[in-house]
Each structure stands twice: as structure tokens, then as C-alpha cells.
Amino acid sequence: MPGLATVLIGDDPASRVYVRSKSRACAAAGIASFEFTKPPDARLSDILSLVEALNRDERVDGILVQLPLPSGLDTRCVIAALDPGKDVDGFHPVNIGRLWGGETSLVPCTPQGCMILLRHVLPDIAGATAVVVGRSHIVGRPLAALLVAADCTVTLVHSKTRDPAAICRHADILIAAIGRPQAIGDGWIKPGAIVIDVGINRVAEPDGTAHLVGDVDFGAASRIAAAVTPVPGGVGPMTIACLLRNTVLAACRRRGLPEPLAPIQ
Ligand code: NDP
């Protein structure tokens, strides 16, 4: 049975929810999950010792260190300590290099989920103009690598971009990952575009309740675009599915078994 170890450091409520939902998904898919927690004031040396033990643990095929880490901990140092073959988030520098080099790697889960969604509605994306709004290491940049590999013409928009709406209006494929509630609306979307909304933003209501919205104004996008993903329920579940996918791939590779899943293109 493939095995996934999750490492949760600190007491961030959202991180706790994410880790729990990942463990539940593992159970449903027949993947063993091992949960490890550390207090918010954990020392870097303790975390590195845990990672090294998990690297050696034969039951563990994938290791997920839930981000963000508490402030003061060096995220790069923790990620670099992972065995790249068990790095099911695809954040290790070796896997990032392989991704940009077009080699077999463990591909970051959210970008992988976006590509699967995209291929579902648009099997042939070669030559399409793709704009990714947001250039984070976990979403925007790896997604740009996948889109380049898929022969799209790719632009990365970020907080310093001049007139981002004008750039987005040219996009056949528009992917939003900025963490700004419903920032992308009417004037940003080309008629007939495919819009993928990665953003997950908690918006408070005057009565004290809260609800989740994406980075895209879903109503506007529904009127203008050919297809748009909802929030919640669009990219989020794909991210978890791709984590399970990476765990199975890592397990097969570690055991020298043929890979049962086609590569993401
Ligand atoms: P980060 O905060 O790490 O990065 C945000 C990026 O957006 C940065 O590159 C920033 O630019 C850019 N940005 C911010 N504001 C603007 C703006 N007004 N115009 C253009 N670019 C802007 O965020 P993440 O990538 O981690 O997450 C983005 C969103 O996706 C969040 O809502 C997060 O919750 C969600 N998310 C969802 C996942 C899922 O499974 N559905 C998984 C991961 C994230 P600059 O680099 O210049 O600062």
C-alpha cells in the first residue's frame, strides 16, 4: 500500500483543515497516511530530524510538509531536506529543475490539477495564449512551466505588471492565483476564454459568518467566458486528487513498478 506522511508545524487552523482533508482522501483511496505534528516553536533541527527519518522510512512513499511554516522557520531549508523522490508537493529544487527541463518529475499538485481541468475542456492547447495571474513558487511559476511544455504562449502577470487587465483580455486561457477576492472581472476576460480560478478567499459577512470566493468574479466570467471553474469545488478538489496521484507515482517509482498513470502534459 502506498504511504503518505503529513507534517504539520504550528496551529494554523486552515493548515489543520487541509491536512485533515488530505488524510481523509488517503483513507478513501487506500493510501496509508501518517500524521506528524510539531508545536509552533519547534526548532529547525527537530523538523529536519523528522524529515530525515521519513526519508528513510520504508512505509512512506510521499512526504508533505504543510505550508506556510510558522514565521522564523526556513521553508527552503526544510523543503531541500526532503528526498526528491518522496517530494509529492513537487517543491524540491531538483523537482523544480526537472519540471522546467521537461524531465519526469513530481509535478506540484495545484498546477497539475489545473492542467487536467484545462485538457478536459480543451484537448488541444498548442498555440493558445495563456496568461497566469500570480507568480508564486507553488502555483504561478510551475503552472507557467507546464503551459510552456504544452506549447502555449505564456505570460506571467504579477503585482508589478502594468495594465494587467489589458494583458488578460488577450488570453485564450486565463488562470488566476493571486489571493484577491473577485479581483478579476468584466474588463479582464476575453469572450470565449477558458478561465481557471485557483484563488480561495474567506470573505466575512456583516452577520459574522464567512464564505469562500475565488479571485475571479464568477458571475461576470460565466457571462463572458466559455468555461470557468467555481470556488469552492473547482481547483481545490483537483489539488487533493493530484496529491494522491503523486503519492501513487512516487510509490511505483520507488518500487521499480510500471507507472499506472499517464504523465501530465
Ligand atoms: P502568494 O501570495 O504566494 O502569491 C500571490 C501572487 O499573486 C504573487 O505573485 C503576487 O505578485 C500576485 N498578486 C497579488 N496581487 C496581485 C494583483 N492585484 N495583480 C496581479 N498579481 C497580484 O499566493 P499563492 O500562489 O500561494 O495563492 C494564490 C491563491 O490561490 C490564494 O487565494 C490561495 O489560497 C489559493 N490557492 C489555492 C489552492 C487550491 O488548491 N485551490 C492551492 C494553493 C493556493 P508578486 O509576486 O509581485 O507579489
pLDDT in tens, 8-63: 999 999 899 999 999 999 999 999 999 999 999 999 999 999 999 999 999 999 99
pLDDT given at position 175: 98
pLDDT given at position 52: 98
- Separation of 86 CA from ligand 1 center, angstroms? 25
pLDDT given at position 104: 83
Characterize the bridge pairing of strands 194-197 and 227-228.
parallel
Q: Which residue ranges in the chain fall short of pLDDT 50?
A: none
Predicted TM-score (pTM) of the model is 0.96
pLDDT given at position 124: 93
pLDDT given at position 241: 97
How far apart CA 156 and CA 134 sit, in angstroms, is: 7
Neighbour tally for 41: CB within 10 Å: 10
- Separation of 253 CA from ligand 1 center, angstroms? 32
Nearest CA to ligand 1 atom 42: 110
pLDDT given at position 12: 92
Q: Which residues are catalytic?
A: 22, 66, 89
- Whether ligand 1 lies within 6 angstroms of the CB of 141 is answered as no
- Whether ligand 1 lies within 6 angstroms of the CB of 239 is answered as yes
pLDDT given at position 128: 98
How far apart CA 150 and CA 197 sit, in angstroms, is: 19
Q: Atom of ligand 1 at shortest distance to CA of 179?
A: 32
